[in-house]
């Protein structure tokens, strides 16, 4: 049985967030570890809600799978680390060691379960509600061996926004990537915004990206640009508040078809140079405005054998009437 409720109680009864002390941060940010989170097994930001799914603006939930360590034993402890900057700032760089002193470590979440999932709760009273926070989950096994930390998640109690993964890179930028709100809807984004990975390399802003819509198929087209042989195409998934990879195709293909189902009518695609750093382009498609419009067909007079006979009879009567008039005048 999951320990979700008891885990949430741990945080509520705890002393709140404190500076990271229990964790060895050098080990946390050493990603050459024997086990941990992977692309296919990772955390999911659930948003502002209780463990039963009821909306709660004072509680933020993150769900983690129960991991296996290097000896295939279930990992029983999960730490949440929070900072007021994107996690990349704490991983490397000249200031990273000093910045790590500002990280907040929440009380450890412990579970005896050997499989399944655990929901980790962050209470509004543990943080500054007006600040945007960026976090990761750190697994620690029974032998106090660290695992690779999770994908990044981010949230703000003040405006009730949250996101995870790549979307956190521009989470606090008002013109940045769309992020999920409490109802999983999408906030506004200017589709002309782009993400710069590096000044050099392929610039997807020069690819002249366009699209067409036919039925439930969106055809994306572009002009090949130098600097990368392949391009990765992603689409924003509002359920996970992150971008999901659709495909990596040759740059020279200049075309990709995407079939959508149950779409929210507005989609964001990301075009990323795959072989070299460069500029990513995010491209907005509003399906609602571009669904196929059926041409209006006006009523056309009926034609056929019956109608043709009636027309001929009418013409004959008119000619006969004219003939009679002509004969009377001659007489």
Q: Could you tell me which of 225, 222, 235 has the C-alpha nearest to residue 270? A: 235
Token code pair at residue 296: 């209006």
Residue entry with tokens 């697994």: 139
Non-local (6+) Cβ contacts of 54 within 8 A are none
DSSP 102-122: G-EEPPPEE---SSSEEEEEE
Q: What are phi and psi of 237, to 5 degrees?
A: -110, 110
Q: What is the value of pTM for the model shown? A: 0.55
How far is 79 from 105, CA to CA, in rounded Å? 7
Q: How far is CA 167 from CA 237, 241, 255, 318, 330, in A?
A: 10, 7, 25, 79, 96
Closest to 87 in 3D by CA, of 176, 150, 7, 145? 150
Task: Report the pLDDT value the prediction gives residue 21, as an integer from 0 to 100.
Answer: 55
List, for residues 243-294, the tens digit of each pLDDT value. 888 888 888 889 999 888 776 678 889 998 887 677 888 998 887 766 544 4
CA dihedral 19, 25, 29, 31 (to 10 degrees): -140
pLDDT at 188: 33
Provide the 3-class DSSP secondary structure of residue 82.
strand
CA distance 213 to 285: 9
pLDDT 10s per residue in the chain (331 long)? 344 434 443 443 343 444 445 888 888 887 678 899 998 899 999 999 998 889 999 999 999 999 999 999 999 999 999 999 998 888 877 778 888 888 999 999 999 988 899 999 999 999 999 899 999 999 999 999 999 999 999 999 999 999 888 888 878 764 444 444 444 333 333 333 444 444 457 888 889 999 998 888 899 999 988 888 888 899 888 777 788 888 888 888 899 998 887 766 788 899 988 876 778 889 988 877 665 444 555 555 555 666 666 777 777 777 767 766 666 666 5
Q: How far apart are CA 137 and CA 123, in angstroms?
A: 16
pLDDT tens-digit series, residues 92-130:
777 788 888 889 999 999 999 888 999 999 999 999 998
Nearest in space to 127 (alpha carbons), one of 60, 36, 45, 51: 60
H or E stretch covering 99? helix 96-99
DSSP code, position 180: B
Give me the domains of the chain, ranges plus CATH numbers.
4-170 (2.60.40.10), 194-290 (2.60.40.10)
Q: How far is the C-alpha of 312 from the C-alpha of 303, rounded, in Å?
A: 13
What is the SS3 assignment for 12? helix
Q: For residues 3 and 59, what is the distance between their CA atoms, to the nearest angstrom?
A: 17
Whole-angstrom distance, CA of residue 63 vs CA of residue 75: 15
């Amino acid at each position: 049985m999951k320990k979700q409720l008891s885990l949430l109680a741990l945080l509520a009864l705890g002393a709140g967030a404190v500076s990271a002390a229990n964790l060895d941060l050098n080990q946390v940010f050493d990603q050459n570890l024997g086990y941990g989170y992977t692309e296919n097994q990772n955390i999911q930001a659930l948003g502002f809600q209780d463990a039963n799914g009821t909306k709660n603006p004072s509680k933020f939930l993150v769900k983690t799978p129960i991991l296996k360590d290097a000896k295939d034993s279930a990992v029983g402890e999960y730490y949440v680390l929070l900072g007021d900057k994107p996690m990349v700032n704490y991983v490397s760089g000249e200031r990273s060691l000093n910045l790590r002193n500002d990280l907040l470590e929440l009380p450890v979440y412990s579970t005896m379960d050997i499989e399944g999932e655990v929901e980790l709760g962050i209470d509004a009273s543990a943080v500054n509600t007006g600040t945007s926070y960026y976090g990761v989950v750190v697994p620690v096994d029974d032998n106090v061996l660290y695992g690779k930390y999770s994908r990044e998640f981010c949230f703000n109690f003040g405006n009730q926004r949250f996101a995870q993964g790549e979307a956190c890179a521009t989470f606090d930028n008002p013109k940045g990537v769309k992020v999920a709100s409490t109802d999983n809807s999408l906030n506004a984004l200017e589709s002309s915004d782009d993400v710069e990975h590096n000044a050099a390399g392929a610039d997807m802003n020069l690819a002249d990206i366009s699209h067409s819509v036919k039925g439930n198929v969106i055809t994306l087209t572009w002009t090949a640009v130098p600097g990368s042989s392949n391009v990765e195409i992603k689409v924003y998934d509002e359920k996970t508040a992150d971008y999901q990879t659709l495909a990596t195709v040759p740059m020279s293909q200049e075309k990709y078809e995407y079939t959508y189902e149950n779409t929210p009518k507005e989609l964001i695609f990301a075009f990323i140079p795959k072989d070299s750093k460069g500029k990513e382009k995010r491209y907005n498609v509003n399906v609602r405005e571009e669904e196929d419009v059926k041409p209006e067909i006006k009523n056309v007079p009926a034609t056929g054998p019956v109608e043709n006979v009636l027309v001929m009879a009418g013409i004959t009567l008119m000619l006969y009437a004219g003939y009679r008039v002509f004969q009377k005048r001659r007489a």
